[in-house]
Structure 1
């Protein structure tokens, strides 16, 4: 069992990240909540991993936090939820938000995650309510957690829009990604138009 990977990031293409460990490149699938906190290509990183073997594939999944991996392992035990859907759920919500939604039986919040319908949400609540342990036991109310998660989604959408705009302007995807990353370093909460301006400034110095 591969439980932990520590090495240099050589490629990031959601949902895959490739980590070089002493010359061996491990292709790892990760949720977007992990991608948001990953360092840039060329930097060292540590991922908590889950190795899955099936009749058709051997897959390695990676997570920034042990709690995310623990929740992933719990999700894939739910009837009708496979690794792909579990990654989608963790990409759409942070672990604490998911745990709080289950605790409060908030079906409406869970169905906002792409791919999760009402029946799946209800099944998640029934099968997970006694299995999430200490995840999400902080004192923040669900509204506050959802607000934080929503802010992260808005920031992600701004970055995606800005990157798409640069590509539409004729820049290569790799150039656009690098430029947006530089812009985010200047102002991580900037709207897409400001990110575009900062990115262009980084690529075309005055």
Structure 2
């Protein structure tokens, strides 16, 4: 099992990143929350990881905080929730916000996330309430990421729209979420702003 990777960030194209660890490039999928926290390409990075082994692929997921990984692992144990939906949930809200939704039975907030319908939201509330002990007290180790990262990307809006579609939003919905946002922001910032705006609407 690969539990953590430390190396040079080679590539960052939401939702994918590549980390060079002693000459080996590891491809990981990460939540938008993690991507926003990543430093610029070429910088050193350290991420917690989760490996999923399927018949047709070995998939690696990256997380800035150990608590985020613990919540991801708890989410994928919920009936009907796979890694893609778990990442979409983590992209739309952080651990504290998710915890509040569960404790307050706030299914309405959960249904604003892509791929989460009313039944899934209700299932999350019921099953995750019993799983809090699995991840709530997980230590949040300090991140080794550079907090001053502010990379600029070409075609940031197009990249952000593509990333939102990969999370499960329809193209027209993704375009609407990005409308009105400042286009001179990095791709990750645009995605985060769009998701925040969506959750507050």
Q: Establish whether TM, by shorter chain, passes 0.5.
A: yes
Report the TM-score, using the length of structure 2 for normalisation.
0.69
Report the TM-score, using the length of structure 1 for normalisation.
0.67
Q: Which runs of 5+ in 2 are unaligned?
A: 138-151, 159-180, 187-201
Shift of 1:193: 6.1
Shift of 1:56: 2.2
Q: Which runs of 5+ in 1 are unaligned?
A: 137-158, 166-190, 197-206
Residue 156 of structure 2 is aligned with which of 153, 156, 163? 163
> 1:82-121 maps to which residues of 2 (within 5 A)?
82-121=82-121
Sort the Cα spacing of 1:5 and 1:113 in 2 relative to 1 into closer, same or farther, 3 A: same
Q: CA RMSD in A?
A: 2.5
CA contact (8 A) 2:156 2:183 kept: no
In the alignment of these two chains, the number of paired residues is: 150
Q: Look up the SS of the partner of 2:131 in the other structure.
A: coil
Shift of 1:55: 1.7
Q: Which residue in the other structure is 1:76 paired with?
A: 76
Q: Deviations over 1:12-58 (max 9, x none)?
A: 01111000001000000100000010000000011000011012221
Q: Look up the SS of the partner of 1:5 in the other structure.
A: strand
Q: Deviations over 1:177-202 (max 9, x none)?
A: xxxxxxxxxxxxxx616759xxxxxx
Q: Which residue in the other structure is 1:131 paired with?
A: 131
Sort the Cα spacing of 1:33 and 1:105 in 2 relative to 1 into closer, same or farther, 3 A: same
Q: Which residue in the other structure is 2:16 paired with?
A: 16
Q: Look up the SS of the partner of 2:130 in the other structure.
A: coil
Greater percentage in helix: 1
